[in-house]
Chain A
Amino acid sequence: MSPVRQMRAIGEFRGGWEGRRGKLVQIESRLSSTASKADEWVPVNPGTEGILALGIANALVKYHLYDAGFVAAHVAGFDSWPANEGSQPNGFRALVIQEYDAPKVAEITGVPVETITRLAHEFAISGPSLAVTEGPRFSSGNPAFSSVAVQALNALAGNIEKPGGVLTCPAPPLTWWPPVKGSGSKPDAAAKPALDSVKSLARAVWESQPYRINALFLLGANPLFSSLDFPRETITRVPFVVSFASQLDETATYADLILPDCSSLERWELRTSTPGFALSSVAVGSPVLAPRYDSRPCAQVVLDLAHSFEGDIAAAFPWNEPSQALNELLTGLYDSPHGEIFTERFQSEYLRPEMRAWDWPARKYASRDEFVKRLLAHGGWVDPRYAYGDYRAGLQTPSGKFELPRLLATEASSPVFSGGDLSGYPFELCIFQPLALIGQAAANLPYLQEISGGPQVWPWDSFLEINPKTAASLGIENGDWVIVQSPAGRLKTRALLYAGAMPNVVNLPLGQGHTALGRWAKGRGVNPLELLANGAAPRVRVSKA
């Protein structure tokens, strides 16, 4: 995620195009910074965003506001689920009509019927329109369900692979390194499945499935603080833990070895496929400072480690330095018939409408080396063309169409957390992340602590956002100490009365409450994840301390 990119995009969005500008509707359980910039904020009960999306889909279908041609040609599962196994209702259309009518959705989400209908109309007629979601991370909703439901709206509006719609970013033609083969004693090591979530990692640690974890290397990750699935007991079971953290965070405290990584100003970096940027691109960061302290780039450590082995592993890493590996990657771009190094020409000409349709033939350079040198000097490469309407490339599904999955029919509105007596916990808890504390080590930077909180600034501490009327009913005033209690945990923090908080929802920021990470982060504020430990429901009760 690039906050700078996002800000720039909002700025450009507000600037509009040829005297018009788009409408931003923010559907969220609290009035966040984005909602502050939005033209409309739709308060919705936490975790029910997916249900609202399907309610809007219901209106789109009911009032024939969807792009029938697009749906017929490029969407599967609308009239009936593929490989119909008799699950009812059959097909997306039937599902939304039967299960997600406006009054029912209004009841669950708290969004009035008129709003649902109006949003559907606006979404349909203001083409191109786009529905985007991050998926609620720590709320009671089902994140997969929400994401899919929201994307379905884009499919219904026919906004896929069209200008202004959902675009899939093609991978840039980098020369990828040959795959690592297994070494002599463990020939199929490389074929083992990768663990793609903290949860699966924890499972591997505890159950040795799909394999045992003997060593854990941590780069840019602090699961003891930021994840529910990796408590202290888990990491102590790992025989050997190495951390590349440059600030002593909670997880690094358990490391057997800490090899501080360099900061981004001191090392080589590569980024492809920036979220929100549809063009095929490669961004390269080069070191501008010599390392200030005793640190080394993680990539260098990996290379040195690989060279300490023999045979296939050492052979798979034939570079002495990360820059050599990077150079090799970038040479593939030299051969591409299209594309442009980030130059002033690109930045100024790309915004001209007629230039979008250009062929953008690649410039000729004297040699591969000269090309790579210029690329590194300018910071990256981009292919300014986008093949709109290339559904085969964009929708890489078995049917070649956008598949409205049956997922929606089965685990529909079941909350992830269920069971237990929640009657004593009247408030939903919404956990959000203020922009200033998004970085891994942000809490330990005084200048960021000074501006943390959001959209209101509440520096140097945690706070509980609570609706003023709700607070009045509990006898809580602004700045009072309050106890927030969930089935799993109890926290004490200060109340911030905020008219952007829903009456039945309280909000806690993520990012404070560190027990390590340095003198400015340690022991400051509270970590709302403690309220969700052990699979507890994100429901709390609040009282004055």
Chain B
Amino acid sequence: MPRWGMIIDLDKCTGCRACVVACKQENNIAPSTEDQADQGRLISWMNVLTVVEGDYPNTRVRFLPMLCQQCDKPPCVRVCPVGATYKSTQQGIVGQIYPRCIGCRYCASACPYQVKYFNWFAPRWPEELSPPRNPDVAIRPKGVIEKCTFCIQRLQRARDQAVIENRQVRSEGEYVPACVESCPAKAMYFGDLDDQSTEIAKLTRSARAYRVMEELGTEPNVIYLKEGEWIAG
């Protein structure tokens, strides 16, 4: 059973936010308005955070792409009263069942990464961007929670193709979420963490590898590679 995971190399991430836009296009997320952004209701399954530390002139700015960490022990799954969010034992992805969600937002309050998003209103697209482009992804109605699904629709396509060809989905390269595909700096890697032959599995053993808020025991499947250092010589 594959355990899909992602590696994000923070050294290479330039904060260009191409992944943010690619995700919105792929997953039919409507663009927000200025008011929604002001109110903190912007939906951005993939969100690149800018962390500013220190005082001038020793300021340090870093970029942290934050998306659903697809935890192995997800706090959100435990608290959902109707099981609308669940951990897939077969694929390792934390899924979201839109028709079942009752919109209580317990999962959103419980997630320490703040990566669950709620539809405060029914999503509206401007006429020129209608209809939303991707037929593989459901449009979420108002009142339900949504979040990154590692582009599970792409996994579905890969699986269908694999079934036709009577094989398994390849551990790396065949199924890639939109954000990973779009990254110009090639800072993101994606694949089956359990298959030790993949590049991604090797990178998980890097000295730079860490997970955000590991100490909470959520066991995320998104692994970050710390920024490197220039050594003279």
**Per-residue contact bits, chain A 36-47, to B (CB 8 Å; 1 contact, 0 not):** 110101010000
A503 part of interface (Cβ distance < 8 Å): yes
Number of interface residues of A (CB under 8 A): 49
A-side contacts of B59, CB under 8 Å? 31, 41, 499-500
A21 part of interface (Cβ distance < 8 Å): yes
Please determine whether A499 and B17 come into contact, CB atoms closer than 8 angstroms.
Answer: no
A-side contacts of B62, CB under 8 Å? 36
In the complex, A359 Cα to B227 Cα: how many Å?
38
Task: Tell whether A10 pairs with B232 under 8 Å between CB atoms, given A446-B126, A499-B55.
Answer: no
**Per-residue contact bits, chain A 444-473, to B (CB 8 Å; 1 contact, 0 not):** 001111110011110111000001110000
- The A-contacting residues of B in range 19-71, CB under 8 angstroms, are 20-21, 24-25, 31-34, 37-38, 42, 44, 48, 50, 52, 54-57, 59, 61-63
A4 part of interface (Cβ distance < 8 Å): yes
A-B contacts at CB below 8 angstroms, number: 118
Please determine whether B56 and A502 come into contact, CB atoms closer than 8 angstroms.
Answer: yes
Please determine whether A455 and B126 come into contact, CB atoms closer than 8 angstroms.
Answer: no
Please determine whether A455 and B15 come into contact, CB atoms closer than 8 angstroms.
Answer: yes
Please determine whether B31 and A450 come into contact, CB atoms closer than 8 angstroms.
Answer: yes
A15 part of interface (Cβ distance < 8 Å): yes
Please determine whether A122 and B16 come into contact, CB atoms closer than 8 angstroms.
Answer: no
- The A-contacting residues of B in range 205-233, CB under 8 angstroms, are 228-232
Please determine whether B12 and A435 come into contact, CB atoms closer than 8 angstroms.
Answer: no
Please determine whether A7 and B61 come into contact, CB atoms closer than 8 angstroms.
Answer: no
Please determine whether B61 and A31 come into contact, CB atoms closer than 8 angstroms.
Answer: yes
In the complex, A20 Cα to B9 Cα: how many Å?
17
Please determine whether B56 and A447 come into contact, CB atoms closer than 8 angstroms.
Answer: no
- Taking a contact as CB atoms closer than 8 A, the residue among A8, A23, A435, A469 that contacts B185 in the complex is A8
In the complex, A37 Cα to B11 Cα: how many Å?
7
- The A-contacting residues of B in range 180-195, CB under 8 angstroms, are 183-187
B-side contacts of A41, CB under 8 Å? 57, 59
In the complex, A498 Cα to B59 Cα: how many Å?
9
In the complex, A8 Cα to B31 Cα: how many Å?
27
B-side contacts of A348, CB under 8 Å? none
Please determine whether B34 and A460 come into contact, CB atoms closer than 8 angstroms.
Answer: yes
Please determine whether B63 and A4 come into contact, CB atoms closer than 8 angstroms.
Answer: no
B-side contacts of A122, CB under 8 Å? 232
B153 part of interface (Cβ distance < 8 Å): no
In the complex, A459 Cα to B54 Cα: how many Å?
24
- Taking a contact as CB atoms closer than 8 A, the residue among A7, A461, A498, A500 that contacts B184 in the complex is A7
B14 part of interface (Cβ distance < 8 Å): yes
B-side contacts of A4, CB under 8 Å? 184
B-side contacts of A503, CB under 8 Å? 56
Please determine whether A451 and B228 come into contact, CB atoms closer than 8 angstroms.
Answer: no
**Chain B contact residues: helix, strand, loop or mixed:** loop
A-side contacts of B24, CB under 8 Å? 447
- The B-contacting residues of A in range 40-82, CB under 8 angstroms, are 41, 43
B60 → chain A closest CB, angstroms: 8
Task: Tell whether A501 pairs with B56 under 8 Å between CB atoms, given A11-B186, A23-B230, A35-B61.
Answer: yes
B15 → chain A closest CB, angstroms: 5
B44 → chain A closest CB, angstroms: 8
In the complex, A479 Cα to B9 Cα: how many Å?
32
B-side contacts of A449, CB under 8 Å? 31, 34
- The B-contacting residues of A in range 1-39, CB under 8 angstroms, are 3-4, 7-8, 10-12, 14-15, 20-24, 31, 33, 35-37, 39
Q: Whose C-beta in chain B lies nearest to the C-beta of A500?
A: B59
In the complex, A3 Cα to B183 Cα: how many Å?
12
Most B CB contacts (10 A, CB to CB) among A21, A455, A467 go to A455
B163 → chain A closest CB, angstroms: 28
In the complex, A15 Cα to B62 Cα: how many Å?
17
In the complex, A450 Cα to B21 Cα: how many Å?
9
Please determine whether A36 and B187 come into contact, CB atoms closer than 8 angstroms.
Answer: no
Task: Tell whether A450 pairs with B126 under 8 Å between CB atoms, given A36-B63, A456-B50.
Answer: no
Task: Tell whether A14 pairs with B228 under 8 Å between CB atoms, given A435-B16, A447-B31, A455-B15.
Answer: yes
In the complex, A460 Cα to B186 Cα: how many Å?
28
A495 → chain B closest CB, angstroms: 15
B-side contacts of A502, CB under 8 Å? 56-57
Q: Whose C-beta in chain B lies nearest to the C-beta of A498?
A: B52
Please determine whether A7 and B16 come into contact, CB atoms closer than 8 angstroms.
Answer: yes
Q: Whose C-beta in chain B lies nearest to the C-beta of A469?
A: B56
Q: Whose C-beta in chain A lies nearest to the C-beta of B47?
A: A457
Please determine whether B14 and A10 come into contact, CB atoms closer than 8 angstroms.
Answer: yes
Task: Tell whether A37 pairs with B14 under 8 Å between CB atoms, given A11-B185, A450-B32, A460-B34.
Answer: yes
Please determine whether B56 and A7 come into contact, CB atoms closer than 8 angstroms.
Answer: no
Q: Using a CB–CB distance below 8 Å, which chain A residues touch chain B?
A: 3-4, 7-8, 10-12, 14-15, 20-24, 31, 33, 35-37, 39, 41, 43, 122, 126, 435-436, 446-451, 454-457, 459-461, 467-469, 498-503, 524
Pairs across A and B, CB under 8 Å, 12 listed: A7-B14, A8-B185, A23-B232, A41-B57, A446-B31, A447-B24, A460-B34, A467-B56, A468-B55, A499-B59, A500-B59, A524-B34
Question: Which 6 pairs between the two chains have the least Cβ-Cβ distance?
Answer: A11-B185, A446-B31, A7-B184, A36-B61, A460-B34, A11-B12
